[in-house]
Every structure is written in C-alpha cells, then in structure tokens.
Amino acid sequence: MSQSIAIRPIQKKDNQATAEMIRYVLIEQNAPKTGTAYEDKALDDLYETYKDERAVYYILIENNEIIGGAGIQALDDDDSICELQKMYFHPKARGRGLGQQMIEQCLKFAKNQGFNSCYIETLPSMKAAQKRYLKNGFEYIGYRLGQTGHHACTVWMLKFL
C-alpha cells in the first residue's frame, strides 16, 4: 500500500463518513434500500456496533477520505460462526487489490478470535464481490444463516477457517 492508504479499525469520528460511503455505494450499485445494509440502524453508529472484543470494523482511508470498509461479527445465534459484514468500496478503491487486502485482514481477525467459519450474504447483482469471495475460499450454500434482516440478500456463502 502507498503511504496515503491505510486500513484501520473504525473510530467514533468515522461513523458519519463511513455510513455515507456505504449508502453511496448501495445507491451506485442499484441495490434496494429495504432489506439491505442501507436501512440498518447500526449503519449510523458502526463504532458502537463493532465494540465487542470479537468484532471489528475496518475502514480503508486514502488521503483522509474513507473509501471502503468491512467488518467481522459473530452471528447472533451461533458464536462459532462470524459474518463478514458491510464490505463496500467506493469506485475510487476498486480494481486496486484493496478489497483483497481488506478481506485478508478481516479473515485473519476472525481466525484469531477462534471462529470456525465465516458467512457472507450478498446481492445476486454483486458479481465482482462474489468472484472475490470464491477466490478466498468461500462456497455457495443454499440457505441463510443468522437473523441479519437483509432479506434482499439472497446469495449466501460460507468459508471454513
């Protein structure tokens, strides 16, 4: 990574800019606003949402601008499985290998926290994301895990750690 790019855990001061970036990407990707992260109450307070010791939300910063983010958190009904959550990148961040660096950092954190597997749910239209997940060892599964509330996300994937 160049000097002007950093991946670090979210801080309280980053909440608003991170939520704005995620909503921008969802609109840009023509994602539905209901049944996705767009309407999550937690989106406006990611710092608090990921405060648990087995959770983290990383942000990608370039020249003091938040251009990406992704988090790891235990599923609400099975603490041996984590979910890779809210992994979104502004168009400025895409095609530069930054998503790969982010996913590697998230999976390393998940392994260090003792999770057995990592779950992802995404939109059928997000083909590039699915390709990235497959390259990182995720496999398609035919059912939803957890109570995420993201009913519009009908592609489910799992990776054993």
Residue labelled with tokens 């926290």: 113
CATH number assigned to the domain comprising residue 111: 3.40.630.30
Amino acid in position 81 = I
Count of structural domains, the chain: 1
Predicted structure pTM score: 0.92
Domain range enclosing 133: 5-160
Q: Which residues pair with 117 in a beta bridge?
A: 81, 160
Query: Cα–Cα distance between 73 and 63 in angstroms, integer?
Result: 28
β 117-122/155-160 pair status: antiparallel
Full pLDDT tens readout for the chain, 161 residues: 445 899 999 999 999 999 999 999 988 988 767 767 767 778 899 999 999 999 999 999 999 999 999 999 999 889 999 999 999 999 999 999 999 999 999 999 999 999 999 999 998 988 989 999 999 999 999 999 988 777 888 999 999 99
